[in-house]
Copies of this chain bind each other. A is one copy, B any other.
């Protein structure tokens, strides 16, 4: 039986702040980074995963991943749902590490990175992409992946099983649909706060020409600027294209409501992260006051418990999973099932570095085996840094193509790891640059 015999953790950073790609109201100068983990097997492929950060602190994130090593090294290579469930429970349940969260922030993202690497490893060994590996599990196996603690007031194992059994019908057709057509994307490329009006208009028009039916703009810096930018974008794309806006947690309740009322004439489709991602009741209050504009959140939602409450309180009507914020595939499967239970569409957060690569697997699984629908669903697309991955996300005519290679698409090129390693890679030392 093959075993995991080693774990490497690397601090990899990209100097994205030099170009203001990724600038928004709360994150003016991100250096997109990955605390990158490799699980070495004594035979067959290795497994790859990462936590995403925006620069400083990526070393702290890497240290948190290293703290998982005793739970992983020495284990048999996971091959099935039961082994992946057991690994996830073991990492989440460490009785001392738990204090650092529980199940939130640096400690929980570390769990997520290792769990995702284990999924990558298992899927590579099965010679399947994760979306397919996961979709082919039985409803019972899928339910077995989930830690239902703290969920039973909203979703029981029996209800989850019922959702999954219902989605068995038409599954083969939906797998074929994903292979033929992929999954809807929307693009955030036009709308970074640091971009000029000209660049915003040019990229908005380009997005429509490229086949997207929704774009997203960052807001929350200055109301006057936002009104002008949203008007320009609306003029550029016309009335049939959805425009979402994203405040990146900038506001309190009353400011969010007033700001969105001022933007309402330009028909924004959703407001994303209007306030603190921890604030279920504030999202609820905002949602009630700005309807029919939708409220979306998730990229900073720390775990399934907060997602559960956002759904229970009808505080969001678009749920944005993130592949690398929570405790990995297992917890994201729980969140997809919660969303299905409450009938809320999932439109994942992506971008950063590698998030598009990972999260497409989860949306495709959601369509095939959970929600059985793509209506009002799409995955964020930001066309940055994909060249660093061995199985990069590809969007054509507004659709993510289904990944075909085995694994979770988390692996970076060796040349990337050498060049962008922090602080000793040549990109950071200035040598050979």
Contact = CB atoms under 8 A, between A and B. Distances in A.
A343 interface: no
A105 B99 contact: no
A254 interface: yes
Q: Which 7 A-B pairs rank lowest in CB-CB distance, beginning with the nearest?
A: A105-B105, A55-B96, A106-B106, A56-B96, A153-B253, A150-B276, A152-B252
A430 B276 CA distance: 47
A150 B94 contact: no
A76 interface: no
Contacts of A63: 59-60, 63
Interface string A24-59: 001111110000000000000000000001111101
B29 A95 contact: yes
B153 A100 contact: no
B285 A153 contact: yes
Interface in A294-333: 300, 302-303, 305-306, 308-309, 312-313
A209 interface: no
Number of copies of this chain that the complex holds = 2
Contacts of A278: 103-104, 302-303, 305-306
B60 A60 contact: yes
A1 to B, nearest CB: 27
Contacts of A277: 102
A100 B52 CA distance: 9
Contacts of A95: 26-30, 54
A420 to B, nearest CB: 16
Contact of A252 (B54, B150, B303): B150
Interface in A90-131: 94-109
Given A95-B29, A99-B27, A150-B252, A57 B67 contact: yes
A54 B150 contact: no
Interface in A205-248: none
B252 A31 contact: no
A75 interface: no
Given A30-B99, A102-B277, 14 more contacts: A30-B96, A31-B96, A54-B95, A56-B94, A57-B64, A60-B67, A63-B63, A102-B300, A103-B278, A153-B281, A153-B282, A278-B303, A280-B281, A281-B309
A300 to B, nearest CB: 6
Interface residues of A, number: 60
B275 A150 contact: yes
Interface in A141-179: 149-153
28 contacts: A26-B95, A27-B98, A28-B95, A30-B96, A53-B100, A54-B99, A55-B96, A56-B67, A56-B94, A57-B64, A60-B60, A60-B64, A60-B100, A60-B106, A61-B100, A101-B105, A102-B249, A104-B104, A104-B302, A105-B107, A106-B107, A150-B275, A150-B279, A152-B254, A153-B254, A278-B303, A279-B309, A280-B281
Contacts of A151: 252
Residue among A150, A275, A308 facing the most chain B CB atoms (10 A cut-off): A150
A150 B313 contact: no
Contacts of A103: 276, 278
A310 to B, nearest CB: 10
B105 A108 contact: yes
A274 B108 CA distance: 21
Nearest to A99: B54
A54 B96 contact: yes
Given A153-B253, A281-B313, A305-B276, A60 B96 contact: no
B106 A282 contact: no
A101 B302 CA distance: 9
Contacts of A59: 63, 67
A29 B100 CA distance: 15
Interface string A279-290: 111100100000
Interface string A173-202: 000000000000000000000000000000
A151 to B, nearest CB: 8
A64 to B, nearest CB: 5
